[in-house]
Structures are given as C-alpha cells and as structure tokens.
Homo-oligomer: A and B are copies of this chain.
Amino acid sequence: MSYRENPRPGGRSARVQVAVHQSVRDMLATMDRADITIPLIAQRANVTPSTIYRRWGGLQELLADVAASRLQPEGEPARIGSAREDLEAWVEQYADEMASGVGRQLLRDVLSVADGANAEKCCTYTRSQLAILIARAEKRGEPFPVEEELMDHVISPIIYRILFDRAPGPDHVRNLIAKVMPESVART
C-alpha cells in the first residue's frame, strides 16, 4: 500500500522525482507557500497525486525532501585569502542565506518532519564545508579551530538565532569567529 525506497538510478522513478522536485521549486518561487498543495504539485509535474502520496507520504515530507536538497552546498567555499578570511567569507554567506526568508523556510521544512534524516543531511553538508576550510588551514600551517568548535560556537549560535530569535548581524558573526580563532583566546 505504499512503496517508497530509494529509486534506481535512471528509471522512471527517478524522472518522476526530478519532475516533482522541480515543480515544488517553481511553486515555492512563485506562489504563497500556504497555497501549495499536493494535487497542484502533481498537476504541474504531470503525475497523479497518489504517486506523490505513495512516494513521500505527504506535503511536509515532500517539502522537507526538497528543502534538504536545496540546502546542499553547490561548490567549495571560495578562496579569498588566509584561511581565516575564507572562513569569515563563507560563514557570512552561510548566515545570510539561512537568515533570508527562503533559507529560514527551508530550515523549518527540513525540521518539521519527525524523521530526522533530512536534518542530519544538512548538518553533514555544513560539516563537510567546514572540513574543507580546516584542511586548507592545515595545509598552510595556519592555526585554526577544530570542526567541533566551529559547529558549537559559530554555526549553532547563528542557526539558533535564526530559528528562535532575530537573525544575527554581520558584526555578531565576525565576533563569533574571532572567539574561536586560536590566537584570540584572551577575552573577558
């Protein structure tokens, strides 16, 4: 009565997935999210609603799935200058993206589903971007915080504020970074 596993690479199943995701992205971009319904998505993607219900379960799950794929980073963090500068640039962009209306909504979508798989995915994406920055610093011999510190003391505060409070300003973001950089331990 319901069959959704991970689709085989090139089959019909995969095409449907792409069409449905695309349809959702289009709709998210052009209409009010409250007006998005599965029958509408299905129509635009040229599939029947029952296909979507069987594969995803419901609107929330579908939105979470789409959101997770949109939160996947598109490339490596830019190379600006020192490892620290790279980090600052990347984090600032990350914070801006997540704090934007769209970003916020993606975060909510990803979190609103009981199955934490999508949320974990997006944490993994972030870690892997940070890992790249850390590797660069190491290669160049620059002192740099470890991943855990960055996650706990830079990423977490940013996301927490975005989700529960007001988005952090650029100065605050820079401050968070300053605090975890190995040199600047001194601080009251």
Copies assembled = 2
- State whether A164 touches B122 (Cβ < 8 A): yes
* Partner of A153 from B116, B155, B157, B165 at Cβ < 8 Å: B157
- State whether B165 touches A120 (Cβ < 8 A): yes
- State whether A160 touches B164 (Cβ < 8 A): no
- A185 located at the interface, meaning its Cβ lies under 8 Å from any Cβ of chain B in the complex: yes
Interface-forming stretch among A16-24, A45-53, A107-115? A107-115
Chain A window 170-188, contacts with chain B (Cβ cutoff 8 Å), 1 for yes, 0 for no: 0000001000001001111
- State whether A111 touches B114 (Cβ < 8 A): no
- A4 located at the interface, meaning its Cβ lies under 8 Å from any Cβ of chain B in the complex: no
- A156 located at the interface, meaning its Cβ lies under 8 Å from any Cβ of chain B in the complex: yes
Which residues on the B side are within 8 Å of A151 (C-beta)?
A: 157, 160
- Tell me what chain A mostly uses at the interface: helix, strand, loop, or mixed: helix
- Asked, given contacts A119-B163, A153-B157, A155-B160, whether A112 binds B114 with beta carbons under 8 Å apart, the answer is no
User: Would you list the 3 A-B pairs with minimal beta carbon distance, nearest first?
Assistant: A112-B112, A156-B160, A152-B157
Since A105-B114, A108-B111, A152-B153 are in contact, a sample of 17 more A-B pairs with Cβ atoms closer than 8 Å, ordered by chain A residue number, is A33-B114, A60-B112, A119-B164, A120-B165, A123-B164, A152-B157, A153-B153, A153-B157, A155-B160, A156-B156, A156-B157, A156-B160, A157-B157, A159-B164, A182-B188, A185-B187, A185-B188
A-B CB contact pairs (8 Å), 14 listed: A107-B111, A108-B112, A108-B113, A111-B163, A112-B112, A119-B163, A119-B164, A120-B164, A120-B165, A151-B160, A152-B176, A156-B157, A156-B160, A159-B160
